[in-house]
Structure 1
Amino acid sequence: MNNLFTYVSAIKFGSEKYSIEHQELHDRSYYDEDMYIDSKEKVVHFSNGVVLKEHVEFDSEQSNDLDICPECWITYQVIEQPEGVSIRPNKKSFISRCQESFWLKMNLAQQ
């Protein structure tokens, strides 16, 4: 079994074990009641046949106050995995970059 963390970590920091073959970037941004929503999707193809989708969305009206972590919706989802590869969890969501960062830090410490 593979942990989703290892693939997310490979996207963020690189990895010798899980190399990225190519990525597809899609801009899904839109307006919602006069507010611009920045929405980006990245589909990452790994050399072992795993395909992971990263979706990040936030509104452009958020405060840039350095004392808070602005709300941001982040999701990682396995969309393809070859036979014999079982990635768990299949999907992970966060409500801020701070939450995502904490999850990465905690999983990195356990390795």
Structure 2
Amino acid sequence: QKCKVGNSEWVFPSPTGGPMSPDSVLHMLHRVLKRAGLPKVRFHDLRHTFATLALQNGVDVKTVSGMLGHFSAGFTLDTYAHVTTSAKREAAKTMGNILSGAV
């Protein structure tokens, strides 16, 4: 992609060399998803998925919060952190190891 765009600061520049319009990006995304046989998604869905997966896989909340441009880590947790059954199990296992002296 870098060879295609040359010295542009944008990964996917518009035909005029500037940033692509959100409508254009969304149209391209929907075309790609359709070709792949996947359902349409909104950008918010992608943002939500990114934040949830990052938090569930150990990226610290301050980092995720900063990447999302949130004003506080608490807001990020309230909005995106969905504690799953497996996360609860892992937390219980970790605490059990700590309390039993295994860690």
Instruction: Give the alignment's TM-score, normalised by structure 1.
Output: 0.22
Larger Rg: 2
Instruction: Give the structure, 1 or 2, with the largest relative contact order (CA under 8 Å, sep 6 or more).
Output: 1
Q: Which has the larger share of strand?
A: 1
TM-score, normalising length from structure 2? 0.23
